[in-house]
Structure 1
Amino acid sequence: MNTSSVTRITGLASGLDTESIVKKLMDVERIPLNQLKQKQQKQTWLLDSYRQLNSDFLAFRNSTLFNMKLSSSYNTYEVGSSLPNAITGTGTGSSVQGSYSIGVKQLASQAAFTGNNVQLDPTKTMAELGQLTQDTSFTVSVTDPANPSTVQTATIKILTTDKIGDVVSKINGAIDDTSKKSLGLQAFYDANLKQFTMRTKATGEVAKIDLSGNTNQASLDFLGKTLGLDTTKPVATGKNAHIIFDGKDITNLSTNNATIMGINFSFKSTTLDGSGNVQTSNVTVTRSVEAEVKNIKDFVEKYNSLLDRLNKLVNEPVYRDYRPLLDDQKTDMSEKQIEKWEEKAKSGLFRNDSILTGLLNKMRGIMNSTVSTGSSYNSLSSIGIGSKSYQDRGKLYIDEAKLTAAIQADPDAVQKLFSQVGDTAAGTNGFVNQLADEMQTAISQLTKKAGVTGSSQMDQSTVGRLLARIQNDIDRQTDRLFRKEDQYYRQFTEMEKAISKFNSQSSWLYQQSGGM
């Protein structure tokens, strides 16, 4: 608040404590402003809480519900391998149960140059090693299997002051001279093995390193004599993996990972015997009921957590005697006292809130409904999931034995119950899809009510516009109080002047009368 421009005469003539009197008068005048500030604080709490709920609903929809729509949450499989050191696999939602034979004749490998018997002291520069008498450079071209039509070329400059570690770093950081994209090279030098290696990160027969662009003797000497590379064979290519699956040769795999029959395989080594013959691993794919039960239990746990939170919010008590604290009230309180007070003041912000109450009712209704699955397993209760009493307020409990039996008896029906895409009105839409629809409705309502995290507090949402109006009222009240305080001081100043004048006149009359 601005200070008054009035010259304040504080009780010099009257003897009154003008400052104290004006303060008490202003305390009364300030009541409407204080009420506005308390209202503003409460609406700010409400706005922040709405926005947090909005973010949490979005995360629940995009994570928990989305994951429960995926077939991988239901079609869970265990993959066993008789040669786990060479072949491992994990199931996917599209895995096909059965037993398969698989052997690895050749792993996919990088394109690589290796220089043996290269003795380079890592602590010495190229000049100190006698490898370079002047700066030089060499070019390297790389073809990546991910984009075989594009060849990237880099010019790598080598200084006489470089050590072998600097050379390795320059190769690893090499970028195409034109596109400035990384060549994807890996270089390293092992002093114990006396070996320098340069290779592609990518594997497969399309992966290629080409050193044929180096024609000047200085470049060839550095590559051949210093690094020990065979420059007479300037092109190195990678290799594809060669897999034999159920007797069929697969030779087009550029990596050592492949998805076959819906199984994600990882090939770690060849399965050749001492004679070079391919041994086969027996790979078995079986449905994992335990994993599916766990996925459903995790979903129910997260659903219950959200339900419990909403139930608490809409049923929280309202403590009307605990209003938001003003700044001057906080000065007389400890941090712990302020925390406890504000906990009471914030309680009940969402009591009987129409958006949250509506969502709660929809959630309970959905989980108590039936879905047309073409099976007797058409409700949560039919697979061992349900509430125990009205007092649970919709909380779900799981009979794990009954759920396991339902999955074993009709896994497709259990999956449809949760994730089937259909028409809610016709009873063909799965529970997860129905929940996702209602969650989206609530998100839209909350956005309209209070906006989203990151937007201005005074946006065009309902609460945002209300906060803007309150701020305008606060500004007007602040101006009014300034003028009121100014008025009080003017009035007291005039009174002091009048009393002073009266006292002067009385003194003059007294003197004229001879002090009688």
Structure 2
Amino acid sequence: MATIRFTGLASGLDTEKMVKEMMKARKEPMNRLLREKQTLEWKRDSYREMNSLLLELRTSVDSLRFSGNFNKKQASSENDNIASVNVVGTPKLSSYAVEVKQLAQAEMPAAVALTIDPSLKNNTKAEIGSAFTLTVNGQAIQVEAKDSIESVVSKINAKTSASNVQATLVDGQLHLTSASGKVGSLTNQEFSITTTGDSSRLGIAADSTVTSTTGSVGQKSKVVINGIEHEGTTNKITFDGVEFTLKQKNVGSAINVSNKVDEDAVFNTIKDFVNKYNDIIAKINKEISEPRFRSYKPLLDEEKEALPDKTVDKMEEMAKSGLLLRESTLKSALDEMRRAFSTAISGTGVNAAFDTMTEIGIGGPPFGKNAYQENGKLYIDEKKLRSAIRNNGAEVTKLFTNFSDSTNPATKYKESGIAERLYSELSKAIDKVTGQAGSATSTAAYDESYLGKKLKETNDEIDRWEDRLKDIENRYYKQFATMEKLMAKSQSQSSWFAKMSGQ
């Protein structure tokens, strides 16, 4: 609760204004701390933003460390009318000879549809009202007068294993069909239903026989791929990571299916990474090269209130500028990434003709540009890169993904692929920046990072100064109150003497 003071009653002085002026000089040490705290917060946020960029780039480069992202294949069929193809895995073979011997065909069951009495259709639990014998494919079923259509269905299905026929109620009809896979076990691939007694409410005339439609037996697909026959229940067969969709027989006239590297997919993966790299290093280079305007300091709250919003924004922009000027960790990270790109890889199986990025069409500025002005930006010779992917895909893969198990750091670096080097260097930079200002995803005001601890110390010092200044302010007001008391007493005595003199 704010203290209410009545000042200047005896002296007529503006005590509030005088105390405020006296406190200005006293507050200066705390003001410096407040400005320092704001600068530290800005600096921490800038570091965390840079850390977020490094993390984003490391995530992008992570996909380039694994050969699977370079082994994307595209299959094509010599004749899509006979068999079309689609890569669903990681093919090991480059081509396949395909002969379709037989297409899969679904089984067509034998079936009968009986139109039951409307009263049973509307109430499946109603009694049939008459007893009779229902013989389904040679299996006798006793139907009682008290049976409902539902119980009749249950009785028929209880005999399915012997009759090979099953019953279902569908849209007011009683459907009897051969059980799945049982068409071939029926006589002439048909079955009959015979009734003895009044079965009219079931949709069959009394003492009559109904014969089902003729079913057909299904068949499996058969295809010979590279001399080996494969069977399937459908016309889709997967072999060596390739899905073959069989459409037409071509016995005695095999077609060729070929696998090749999906040039567009690999090219776009590399191009997307290069674009991401260029975008992020441009942002980091901008941050570490911004000019520092040391004469501009963070504004205090009372200073902001006295200025137009546009002026405040402009002054804060100038005060924030250059907080990471020539920051050593970020500058070192950029240098190490450039070294990772430019250093040739070596090791078992590495082709010397494809041991640097420039040999596959990725390098610095084209002729006529000044490299130092580009700050490590990469350019892609699309024609050269596509040619390398198409004709030397294995070498391109090694250039990015080569792994070294050497325990010697220098040897490991030389033998590691570009992506492995970049991932390692980015991880080191992220760890260092995290130690300086906290992780990229952190929202904590204070943490165990250098700036986190520094902010905590500064904030504690501000709290101590606030208490100290409150004590000083109270002392000033107390001194003025004492002065007012003495002046009031003096004025009272003077008034008494004046009265006495007048008498």
Aligned match for 2:399, one of 398, 412, 417: 417
1:222–1:307: structure 2 CA closer, same or farther, 3 Å change rule? same
Where does residue 271 of structure 1 map in the other structure?
247
1:117–1:331: structure 2 CA closer, same or farther, 3 Å change rule? farther
1:321–1:283: structure 2 CA closer, same or farther, 3 Å change rule? same
The CA deviation at 1:502 is: 1.3
Name the aligned partner's letter for residue 9 of structure 2.
L
Aligned match for 1:398, one of 362, 377, 380: 380
The CA deviation at 1:281 is: 6.5
1:250–1:292: structure 2 CA closer, same or farther, 3 Å change rule? same
Residue 122 of structure 2 aligns to a residue whose secondary structure is: coil
The CA deviation at 1:304 is: 1.4
1:474–1:288: structure 2 CA closer, same or farther, 3 Å change rule? same
Residue 513 of structure 1 aligns to a residue whose secondary structure is: helix
Name the aligned partner's letter for residue 402 of structure 1.
K
Matched, 1:463 2:451: yes
The CA deviation at 1:131 is: 4.1
Name the aligned partner's letter for residue 477 of structure 1.
W
Name the aligned partner's letter for residue 394 of structure 2.
D
Q: TM-score, normalization: structure 2? A: 0.70
Where does residue 367 of structure 1 map in the other structure?
341
1:111-158 CA-partner distances (Å, limit 9, x unpaired)? x9x998999xxxxxxx99834679xxxxxxxxxxxxxxxxxxxxxxxx
Where does residue 354 of structure 2 map in the other structure?
377
Gaps of 5+ in 2: 127-155, 161-165, 183-217, 366-370
1:389-422 CA-partner distances (Å, limit 9, x unpaired)? 2222211112233334444553322221111012
Name the aligned partner's letter for residue 67 of structure 1.
S
1:355–1:230: structure 2 CA closer, same or farther, 3 Å change rule? farther
d(CA) in 1 for partners of 2:359 and 2:312?
50
Residue 98 of structure 2 aligns to a residue whose secondary structure is: strand
Aligned match for 2:468, one of 475, 480, 489: 480
1:490-505 equivalences under 5 Å are 490-505=478-493
Where does residue 12 of structure 1 map in the other structure?
9
Matched, 1:353 2:298: no
d(CA) in 2 for partners of 1:222 and 1:61?
62
| C-alpha contact (below 8 Å) 2:291/2:321 kept by paired residues | yes
| C-alpha contact (below 8 Å) 1:212/1:234 kept by paired residues | no
The CA deviation at 1:436 is: 0.4
1:100–1:468: structure 2 CA closer, same or farther, 3 Å change rule? farther
Name the aligned partner's letter for residue 285 of structure 2.
N
1:3-402 equivalences under 5 Å are 3-4=2-3, 8-62=5-59, 64-81=60-77, 82-83=79-80, 87-90=84-87, 94-101=91-98, 103=100, 130-131=122-123, 224=169, 242=221, 244-246=223-225, 248-251=228-231, 258=238, 260-263=239-242, 265=243, 267=245, 271-272=247-248, 282-372=256-346, 373-388=350-365, 389-402=371-384
d(CA) in 2 for partners of 1:356 and 1:115?
80
The CA deviation at 1:13 is: 1.2
The CA deviation at 1:499 is: 1.2
The CA deviation at 1:438 is: 0.8
d(CA) in 2 for partners of 1:240 and 1:70?
43
d(CA) in 1 for partners of 2:428 and 2:221?
52
d(CA) in 2 for partners of 1:502 and 1:118?
122
Percent sequence identity over matched residues?
31
Residue 376 of structure 1 aligns to a residue whose secondary structure is: helix
1:331–1:429: structure 2 CA closer, same or farther, 3 Å change rule? same
Where does residue 437 of structure 2 map in the other structure?
450
The CA deviation at 1:21 is: 1.5
The CA deviation at 1:445 is: 1.5
1:398–1:105: structure 2 CA closer, same or farther, 3 Å change rule? same
d(CA) in 2 for partners of 1:454 and 1:129?
67
d(CA) in 2 for partners of 1:253 and 1:493?
102
d(CA) in 2 for partners of 1:321 and 1:502?
52
| C-alpha contact (below 8 Å) 1:355/1:446 kept by paired residues | yes
1:185-213 CA-partner distances (Å, limit 9, x unpaired)? xxxxxxxxxxxxxxxxxxxxxxxxxx989
Name the aligned partner's letter for residue 366 of structure 1.
A
The CA deviation at 1:230 is: 6.0
The CA deviation at 1:431 is: 1.0
The CA deviation at 1:338 is: 3.9
| C-alpha contact (below 8 Å) 2:220/2:233 kept by paired residues | yes
1:454–1:281: structure 2 CA closer, same or farther, 3 Å change rule? farther
d(CA) in 2 for partners of 1:89 and 1:108?
22
Structure number with bigger Rg = 2
1:292–1:26: structure 2 CA closer, same or farther, 3 Å change rule? same
Matched, 1:489 2:477: yes
The CA deviation at 1:432 is: 0.6
d(CA) in 2 for partners of 1:83 and 1:462?
64
The CA deviation at 1:47 is: 2.4
1:33–1:370: structure 2 CA closer, same or farther, 3 Å change rule? same
1:231–1:322: structure 2 CA closer, same or farther, 3 Å change rule? farther
d(CA) in 2 for partners of 1:281 and 1:39?
76
Residue 229 of structure 2 aligns to a residue whose secondary structure is: strand
Gaps of 5+ in 1: 120-126, 135-210, 216-220
| C-alpha contact (below 8 Å) 1:224/1:230 kept by paired residues | yes
1:473–1:74: structure 2 CA closer, same or farther, 3 Å change rule? same
1:363–1:108: structure 2 CA closer, same or farther, 3 Å change rule? farther
| C-alpha contact (below 8 Å) 2:39/2:298 kept by paired residues | yes
Q: TM-score, normalization: structure 1? A: 0.68
Name the aligned partner's letter for residue 502 of structure 1.
S
d(CA) in 2 for partners of 1:500 and 1:108?
116
Residue 75 of structure 1 aligns to a residue whose secondary structure is: coil
Residue 320 of structure 1 aligns to a residue whose secondary structure is: coil
d(CA) in 2 for partners of 1:498 and 1:342?
49
Where does residue 144 of structure 1 map in the other structure?
none
d(CA) in 2 for partners of 1:352 and 1:213?
85
| C-alpha contact (below 8 Å) 1:37/1:474 kept by paired residues | yes
Residue 9 of structure 1 aligns to a residue whose secondary structure is: coil
Where does residue 416 of structure 2 map in the other structure?
429
Residue 280 of structure 2 aligns to a residue whose secondary structure is: helix
| C-alpha contact (below 8 Å) 1:103/1:244 kept by paired residues | yes
d(CA) in 2 for partners of 1:70 and 1:289?
17
